[in-house]
Structure 1
Amino acid sequence: MKKFGFLLSTVLLSGALVACGDDATSETKAINEDKIVVGVTAGPHEQIVEVAAKVAAKDGLEVELKVFSDYILPNTALSEEDLDANSYQHEPFLDTFNEDHGTDLVPVGKTILNPMGVYSDKYDSIDDLPDGATFGLPNDPTNGARALYILEENGFIKIKKDKRESASIYDIEENPKNLEFIELEAAQIPKQLSEVDAAAINTNFALDAGISPKEDSILLESSNSPYVNYIVVRAENKDDPTIQKFIKAYQSEEVKKFIEEEFKGSVLPSWDE
């Protein structure tokens, strides 16, 4: 399978924002009707928006991409108006960012699902995991909870009912196989897979390591996952005509076909779900 390496692109955010109009009376400026600046993370999100940009160009809309190598800066740049939109995150991550940073960023259009997979160098089936098997989890709260949700959905653990959306290993109330959970840096889990019996790996990091979620996983996140990705904007721009034009370009048949042919089930278009 083609290896999708993360381009270590660094986006230098401008040190100061240009004021627009009288500070006492002006509102957030409308997005340029002929151009939109979109932030993406390197890899599949970047590749897909590049295709969406070609579709948008046919409708008279120029799409400028800014590529980031982490998960925080695209939202920071959006909130500071260095971007008009971004495309890289699911709603649970966005909700946590808004709560932690006091921002008002909103999802406006579904994009893709990067199905999280469970992988093992030692076992060919999730059912082969022995009692007391070691299991690697991403150590960030959002993706750690996501991995636990996948295990619960498939009957391996049970999470306390009131903790399902923000579960940690301390919220597991039933663990029949006595899995031993080891929290690891998400980006490093592919390199540490041989040190555990199984591990949950985000699709982007799996692809970066040359691992195929569809072919190599022993358990794959289902299509009814709450972790579908979105195009995200500032709340005041959610109905902006330029944003709607970009969503239309992204959710086009051309983009859907590209995703299906390029990623072969490792990345799934989600807007028709």
Structure 2
Amino acid sequence: MKMKKSYVVTSALILLFTLALTACGSGSNNGGTKESKANTPAKAEEPAKKTVLKIGSAAVPHAEILNFIKPKLAEEGIDLDVVVFDDEGQLNPALKEKQIDANFFQHVPYLDSVKGEQGYDFAVTTKVHVEPIGFYSEKIKSIDELKDGAQIGIPNNPSNEYRTLVLLQQKGLIKLKDGLTTYEATPKDIVENPKNLKFVEADVPTLPRALKDLDGALINTNIVLESGLDPASALFREDADSPYANVIVVRSGDENRDDIKKLDAALTSPEVKKFIEDKYGVAVVPAF
């Protein structure tokens, strides 16, 4: 009888001990789950992806202006990748072949002179600056000193050749035939040449080096800057209202892209205008 009672008591104690362990284990698991949830760090938000905008450009002043606006565009989520082309003649083919998103090196008359022949389907989005073409000489200090038969260097590409001849006409040195409306002309289109000026047609980058052999040359400002010539030493130059503003060019259809619009807005801001005026003076003139 005593054994049976003892057995019952022992069984009851074992049952109570088992229930206690189960309760403790259950509480520990629940508590552990709650604590785990509370202490799990919040998932870090992934940084917003930036849009890469690849722009092909000439070195000076184009790339310098683009690099100036890089921080501003970075704030707007655009990573501006500026690619300088040593051979500017490859900038339009690179745009056509989608190697770049836009280019910045040319004016509209130049683009018009090549796009038909090359089959470019491009759009111009904004004007940025004018690089007034100027007359430079190591031999004379004034155009009044130009002698009969003086040799004058001029660019040999159609649009810039026309541009220089028009400038010489404005200064009364020559007269072109009437009816030239396509931004193209050569010395053959001169109908009056009182000083019998001799024109040497050459690649623009070679003109600064050729000054020692010429009486003067008409040279694009970007070439002047790259060569180390003082832009202020020009005997005369184009006015600021020149139609030869350098522009941003994209493939047709891309002009409405958000990143292109932000690029245009940044390039025509008051900050860029001040940067151009402070850095380049008379050599580069804002066109906005």
Partner residue, 1:8: none
5+ residue gaps in structure 2? 1-48
Q: Which amino acid aligns with 1:207?
A: L
Q: Which amino acid aligns with 1:40?
A: S
Is it true that 1:85 corresponds to 2:99 in the alignment? no
8 Å Cα contact 1:86-1:233 kept in structure 2: yes
Alpha-carbon distance in structure 2 between the residues aligned to 1:146 and 1:269: 19
Alpha-carbon distance in structure 2 between the residues aligned to 1:209 and 1:61: 33
Alpha-carbon distance in structure 2 between the residues aligned to 1:55 and 1:161: 47
Partner residue, 1:206: 224
Partner residue, 1:10: none
8 Å Cα contact 2:85-2:91 kept in structure 1: yes
How many residue pairs align between the two structures?
A: 239
Alpha-carbon distance in structure 1 between the residues aligned to 2:236 and 2:277: 20
Partner residue, 1:230: 247
8 Å Cα contact 2:50-2:77 kept in structure 1: no
Is it true that 1:191 corresponds to 2:209 in the alignment? yes
> Which residue, 271, 280, 283 being the options, matches 1:254?
271
Q: Which amino acid aligns with 2:124?
A: P
Deviations 1:161-220 (A, max 9, x none): 22252110000111122211111221111111011111111112211221122x210111
Deviates more, 1:42-51 or 1:123-132: 123-132
Partner residue, 1:148: 165
Partner residue, 1:129: 146
Is it true that 1:74 corresponds to 2:71 in the alignment? no
Alpha-carbon distance in structure 2 between the residues aligned to 1:192 and 1:114: 21
SS at match of 1:178: coil
Displacement of 1:127: 2.2
8 Å Cα contact 2:51-2:77 kept in structure 1: yes
Alpha-carbon distance in structure 1 between the residues aligned to 2:187 and 2:113: 18
8 Å Cα contact 2:50-2:79 kept in structure 1: no
Deviations 1:231-265 (A, max 9, x none): 01111112222211110011112211211111122
TM-score, with length taken from structure 1: 0.83
> Which residue, 157, 174, 190 being the options, matches 1:172?
190
8 Å Cα contact 1:53-1:249 kept in structure 2: no
Displacement of 1:159: 0.9
Q: Which amino acid aligns with 1:192?
A: A
Deviations 1:105-141 (A, max 9, x none): 1211001111111011111112221222111111222
SS at match of 2:95: helix
TM-score, with length taken from structure 2: 0.79
Partner residue, 1:25: none
Runs of 4+, deviation exceeding 4 Å: none
Q: Which amino acid aligns with 1:252?
A: S
Alpha-carbon distance in structure 2 between the residues aligned to 1:126 and 1:205: 21
Q: Which amino acid aligns with 2:204?
A: A
Q: Which amino acid aligns with 2:234?
A: S
5+ residue gaps in structure 1? 1-31
Alpha-carbon distance in structure 1 between the residues aligned to 2:197 and 2:62: 33
SS at match of 1:142: helix
SS at match of 1:122: coil
Answer with 1 or 2: which has the greater Rg: 2
